[in-house]
Amino acid sequence: MTPSRVCSRASRAGRFAGTCAALLLTLTLTIMSQDAQAACAPLLNHTFSKLQDKSPQPLCQYQGKVVLVVNTASYCGFTRQYDGLEKLYAQLAPKGLVVVGFPSNNFGQQEPGTEKEIADFCRLTYGVQFPMMGKTEVVGAGTHPFFQELAKATGERPQWNFHKYLIDRSGRKVTSFSSRVEPNSPELVGAINKLLAEQP
């Protein structure tokens, strides 16, 4: 066999091996993605855009954590709760808590700004580091399905800005707290610590 034929066969074999490796990697990633979706609690199986850059943020990434969901607003009497929420997040994130903010203009038109304006306000005024999603409808005809499910699970819809839903590590049990429950209240902190102590 001539050297040129040997080289030609080796080249074809190399391309075949490369193609097989690529197909195997694609199949593996697909199976892993399907497994991750299967493991995700239905309640968390929603994707939002990130407030700061609109990148997709699947809530399934928080599976196994205790999740505190808060509908927020920049011009509300409860806006100062951002400070307490950030402190709560900084203190308990290492133990498995994630606070997720959902700016909403549903109550009193108190979140009228653009998403960039909201992101700048949260960062510059309160130093918010916890995840913030894009503007979201939390009540009314346009209620996002995630908030519909939260309301159904607890029997309570948000009545104003800074309503809080606490989701356990399994993503199945949800507790509701009114806007008047401060982030550092014994009621809320006690409930969070109890869920953090549980294993998913």
Catalytic residue among 20, 40, 60, 76: 76
CB 112 within 8 A of CB 118: no
DSSP 101-139: EEE--TTTT---S-HHHHHHHHHHHH---S-BBPP---S
- Selection from 80, 147, 134, 67 nearest residue 102 by Cα: 134
Alpha helices in 40-175 (DSSP H): 81-92, 115-126, 145-154
Strand pairing class (66-72; 97-103): parallel
Q: Which residues of 85-96 are buried (b: 16+ CB within 10 A; e: fewer)?
A: bbebbeebeeeb
Residue type, 186: P
Integer Cα distance of 49 and 132 in angstroms: 9
- Selection from 78, 46, 39, 44 nearest residue 174 by Cα: 44
Q: Is 122 a catalytic residue?
A: no
Helix (H) or strand (E) holding 57: strand 56-58
Q: Which residues are catalytic?
A: 76
